[in-house]
Structure 1
Amino acid sequence: MRGLTGISAIASDVLGVRLNPYIPYNFLVELDGLVTGGFMEVFGLESEIKLESYEEGGQNDYVHQFPTRTTYPNLVLSKGLTDAWTLWSWYDDACHGKICRRNGTIMLLDHQRLPVRWWNFRDAYPVKWTGPQFNSSAQDIAVEKIELVHRGITIPIASKGLRRANQLDRLETS
Structure 2
Amino acid sequence: MSTSSNDPAVSVCFTVEVDGTDLGSFNSCEGLGVEIVMEQREEGGNNTMVWQLPTRMKFTNVKLTRPVGPNSRKLTEWLSEALEDLRPTTAGITARTADGTVVAGWSLRGVVPVRWTGPSLNVDTAKVATETLEIAHHGILPGPTK
TM-score tier (shorter):
0.7 to 0.9
Aligned to 2:88: 101
Q: 1:101-139, CA deviations, whole angstroms, 9 ceiling, x for partnerless residues?
A: 331111122464222321100231212111112343432
State TM-score, norm by structure 2. Answer: 0.78
Secondary structure class of the residue paired with 2:78: helix
Distance (whole Å) between structure 1 residues aligned to residue 98 and residue 133 of structure 2: 27
Q: Which 5+ residue runs of structure 2 have no aligned equivalent?
A: none
Larger Rg: 1
Superposition CA RMSD, Å: 2.8
Structure 1 residues 33 and 94: CA distance shift in structure 2, 3 A: closer
Q: Which has the higher contact order (CA 8 A, sep 6+)?
A: 2
Q: Give 4+ residue runs of structure 1 displaced > 6 Å after superposition.
A: none
Structure-2 separation of matches of 1:26 and 1:143 = 14
The structure in which a higher percent of residues are strand is 2
**Percent of aligned pairs with the same amino acid:** 31
Using a 3 Å threshold, how does the CA distance of structure 1 residues 75 and 54 change in structure 2: closer, same or farther? same
- Normalized per residue, which structure has more helix? 1
User: Are 1:91 and 1:127, in contact at CA under 8 Å, matched by a contact in 2?
Assistant: no
Structure-to-structure mapping, 1:18-167, within 5 angstroms:
18=6, 20-82=7-69, 84-95=72-83, 97-110=84-97, 112-156=99-143
Extract unaligned runs of 5+ from structure 1: 1-8, 163-174
1:125 match: secondary structure: strand
- What is the total number of aligned residue pairs between the two structures? 144
SS state of the match for residue 85, structure 1?
A: helix
Using structure 1 for the length normalisation, give the TM-score: 0.68
The one-letter amino acid of 1:44's match is G
